[in-house]
Structure 1
């Protein structure tokens, strides 16, 4: 079995043995094929993944060379079954989904399964599934592939990662694991300070943990950030939550 790691620097393993991926061009091709695992990726798309602006006249030949080199490394690690996973199929190439798996596909499956266990009764199951999904991340997706097309895909994956963290925090809140939710969201808002859902989870975590002043402090911080950086006020949900805390504090 070929395992391709996309949630961090590109990795390829065959039956647990690391396979050299090569330079930027080969990493970009690996990323493009793995993103479309099971589907044919046209040659022109692979060319664009390496040279988005002005591909050289020899671009197609260079892509063919990268494919040959990847097959050679796969064959060294796992013989013909491994190299055969990288298939030629007009108008391009295809990574066989039955032979190659990716951490991205595993992440997608775990988060989808978590969503099938809604509400307080499913919170413990969601926590376990989401923690397993988030543990797959070794850093920014495609961290060593600077190609613009691949980085555009990476931005979408990062958004999915942030949503999974927020889903985890909400499940923790449902089980009254307030300090864990606060810790999770503290880290998230430091990285993504304009995520209102994360700030709401953070406020609710402080409130559930008996720290209404800290909850209001979090609200004042996002209100300041929004005013200074965006010229707007926080959304209705945050304003309503802050108002409810202030009324309780005034009693």
Structure 2
């Protein structure tokens, strides 16, 4: 019987044994070998063997490519949860491989905080209660103590008392998995956290895609790197954690906004290396409007316009950026921006902002 292949030419997961599919599924959910071994009740060397056979059968080069394949074949869906969704806490991957989907919590912080349980939107309460859930979602691999939650959500306005246990109690009620008495929020001696393997957070999906994009770049597959970076950027739905109070939300808003800009720059740099100049210009022009004081973005846009033979527009970018820097910050353009202008005037494409794009 011939092997079934996907549109990209690689065999689909139908080529795998049930246990190999379970390993790929768990890998796509972000689990390491030791964690996969734990949930499947297998020795770790057996898991490694299954993973090796998955790579061979699916013609994949490494773990990052396997994770991407789990997304591409629909086994795991970024921002929408796995096809075979999780059951109650404590249910292993082996137990939830049946055809009927079970409950699965998804939390999105790359925009206004939103949550879904078993595919249905969930009201997670007032903004400070939402901020507590966001703090747990942003710390998927560790517990968050009561004091850390107080400091991160309330800051200097910390009310003390039992406000954190009260909010956690309300969240547990809101996020209870059907008739199951358990919730997706666990407690241990260190504090609170989301139950591993039950909740999916869009930030984690984004980082998986970014890691895979970096792996594609290292193998020279820039087209794949651009595609994966596009998918990571699509997970952003506006200002991260919009409207949530507290020092933690403010810091994460800044960090994630910078992350998005760095990813957009990285994608544009790859597009230029592929000769997809018009696409790079379109994306960078929109980014420059959003980030008028960001000199590296202006430099990269000047480089793209220079590559596209649009010298006057490249110089106009410099003038516009210079005015905004003077008006808003009272400073002159930096050396990187001035060097890009000199390169454009000389017609020197190689020098037009060839500085390394910040690692994403």
TM-score normalised according to structure 2 size: 0.63
Closer, same or farther: CA 78–167 of 1 in aligned 2, 3 Å: farther
Pair 1:16 & 2:119 matched: yes
Higher relative contact order (CA 8 A, sep 6+): 1
Does the CA-based 8 Å contact 1:178-1:209 persist in structure 2? yes
In the TM superposition, 1:12-91 aligns within 5 A as 12-56=115-159, 59-75=160-176, 77-80=177-180, 83-91=182-190
Does the CA-based 8 Å contact 1:40-1:94 persist in structure 2? yes
Alpha-carbon deviation of 1:26? 1.0
Tell me the distance in 2 between the aligned counterparts of 1:30 and 1:21.
8
Match of 2:112, SS state, is: coil
Match of 1:170, SS state, is: helix
* 1:171 corresponds to: 270
How much is the aligned-residue C-alpha RMSD, in angstroms?
2.2
Tell me the distance in 2 between the aligned counterparts of 1:32 and 1:177.
39
Which of 306, 325, 342 in structure 2 is aligned with 1:226?
A: 325
Alpha-carbon deviation of 1:232? 4.0
Does the CA-based 8 Å contact 1:120-1:174 persist in structure 2? no
Match of 1:118, SS state, is: helix
Closer, same or farther: CA 194–120 of 1 in aligned 2, 3 Å: farther
Give unmatched runs, 5+ long, in structure 1.
Answer: none
User: 1:100-127 deviations in whole A, cap 9, x for unaligned?
Assistant: 1100001111112212233793321111
Tell me the distance in 1 between the aligned counterparts of 2:186 and 2:276.
48
Which of 177, 189, 196 in structure 1 is aligned with 2:288?
A: 189
Which of 300, 307, 320 in structure 2 is aligned with 1:208?
A: 307
Closer, same or farther: CA 142–248 of 1 in aligned 2, 3 Å: closer
Does the CA-based 8 Å contact 1:46-1:63 persist in structure 2? yes
Give unmatched runs, 5+ long, in structure 2.
Answer: 1-103, 349-360
Pair 1:144 & 2:243 matched: yes
Alpha-carbon deviation of 1:223? 2.8
User: 1:45-96 deviations in whole A, cap 9, x for unaligned?
Assistant: 122233222333xx44222121111111112x53438x43201112321112
Alpha-carbon deviation of 1:19? 1.4
Match of 2:296, SS state, is: helix
Alpha-carbon deviation of 1:222? 2.0
Pair 1:244 & 2:343 matched: yes
Alpha-carbon deviation of 1:191? 1.8
Alpha-carbon deviation of 1:197? 1.9
Pair 1:132 & 2:264 matched: no
Does the CA-based 8 Å contact 1:38-1:96 persist in structure 2? no
Does the CA-based 8 Å contact 1:200-1:238 persist in structure 2? yes
TM-score normalised according to structure 1 size: 0.89
Closer, same or farther: CA 48–115 of 1 in aligned 2, 3 Å: same
* 2:255 corresponds to: 156
Match of 1:53, SS state, is: helix
User: 1:175-206 deviations in whole A, cap 9, x for unaligned?
Assistant: 22222212211121222122222112211221
Alpha-carbon deviation of 1:128? 0.5
